[in-house]
C-alpha cells in the first residue's frame, strides 16, 4: 500500500469552480474543499454572476444557458435553473463519454488550465482559503485583461 486511497472522500485540498462566457472569460469563481461534491457549488456560482453589459437593452443578470460536466447532472439543479429561466446542458450520466469534452465545455477547461499555469496556483501554499481565493481572483483578472487587451 502506498498511502491513502486517492478517491478518499476526506482528502485534503481545494477545488476551483468557474463559470465562463462562451469565449472563456471568467464570470464567477468559487473555492471549495476537495471533498465537496461539484453539484453543491453550482447555486452560489450562478448567484455570483455579476450583471453583464449587453449590446442592447438592460444588463444581463443571469446566463442564458449553462454547460457542465457530469457532476452537475442532477434533477434538483435542473429544476432550480429552470425556475430562473436558465437552460441547463450538462454531460449526461451513463450517456456521454468522459473522453469527449464537448463543443462548449472545452472553453471552461482551457480557462481552468490558464490559472493552473501560475506557480502560485499550481499547488496551494496558503493556509487560509481567503488568501488562495485572492490569488485565483488575480489570475482571473489577468485572464480577462489579456483577452480584452487583444
Please report whether residue 3 resides in a domain.
Answer: no
Distance, CA of 77 to CA of 43 (rounded, Å): 8
Which residues, listed in sequence order, are joined to residue 67 by a DSSP beta bridge? 89
Listed in sequence order, the residues at least 6 apart from 90 whose beta carbon sits closer than 8 Å to its beta carbon are: 66, 67, 68, 69, 70, 71, 72, 73
pLDDT surpasses 60 at 101: no
CATH code, domain with 33: 3.30.420
Of the candidates 48, 82, 50, 54, the one whose C-alpha atom is nearest the C-alpha of residue 66 is 82
Mean pLDDT over residues 29-44, rounded? 84
Please report whether residue 55 resides in a domain.
Answer: no
Please report whether residue 99 resides in a domain.
Answer: yes
Distance, CA of 146 to CA of 20 (rounded, Å): 15
Quick one: angle between helices 129-148 and 106-116, nearest 10? 120
Task: Give 38-73 pLDDT, tens digit per residue.
Answer: 888 888 888 888 877 777 888 777 777 887 777 788
Please report whether residue 111 resides in a domain.
Answer: yes
Please report whether residue 67 resides in a domain.
Answer: yes
Please report whether residue 75 resides in a domain.
Answer: yes
Please report whether residue 5 resides in a domain.
Answer: no
Residue showing cell 442592447: 56
Mean pLDDT over residues 1-11, rounded? 57
Distance, CA of 8 to CA of 148 (rounded, Å): 40
Domain that holds residue 139: 15-50+60-145
Please report whether residue 9 resides in a domain.
Answer: no
Model-level pTM greater than 0.85? no
DSSP state of 85: T
The H or E element containing residue 105 is none
Other Cβ atoms within 10 Å of 89 Cβ, number? 15
Q: How many structural domains comprise the chain?
A: 1
Amino acid at each position: 500500500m502506498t498511502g491513502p486511497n486517492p478517491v478518499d472522500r476526506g482528502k485534503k485540498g481545494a477545488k476551483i469552480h468557474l463559470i465562463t462566457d462562451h469565449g472563456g472569460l471568467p464570470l464567477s469563481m468559487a473555492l471549495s474543499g476537495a471533498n465537496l461534491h461539484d453539484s453543491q457549488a453550482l447555486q452560489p456560482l450562478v448567484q455570483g454572476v455579476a450583471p453583464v453589459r449587453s449590446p442592447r437593452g438592460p444588463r444581463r443578470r443571469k446566463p442564458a444557458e449553462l454547460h457542465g460536466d457530469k457532476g452537475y447532472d442532477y434533477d434538483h439543479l435542473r429544476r432550480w435553473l429552470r425556475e430562473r429561466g436558465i437552460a441547463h446542458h450538462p454531460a449526461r450520466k451513463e450517456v456521454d463519454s468522459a473522453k469527449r469534452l464537448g463543443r462548449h465545455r472545452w472553453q471552461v477547461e482551457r480557462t481552468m488550465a490558464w490559472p493552473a499555469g501560475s506557480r502560485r496556483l499550481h499547488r496551494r501554499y496558503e493556509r487560509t482559503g481567503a488568501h488562495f481565493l485572492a490569488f485565483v481572483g488575480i489570475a482571473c483578472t489577468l485572464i480577462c485583461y489579456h483577452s480584452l487587451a487583444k
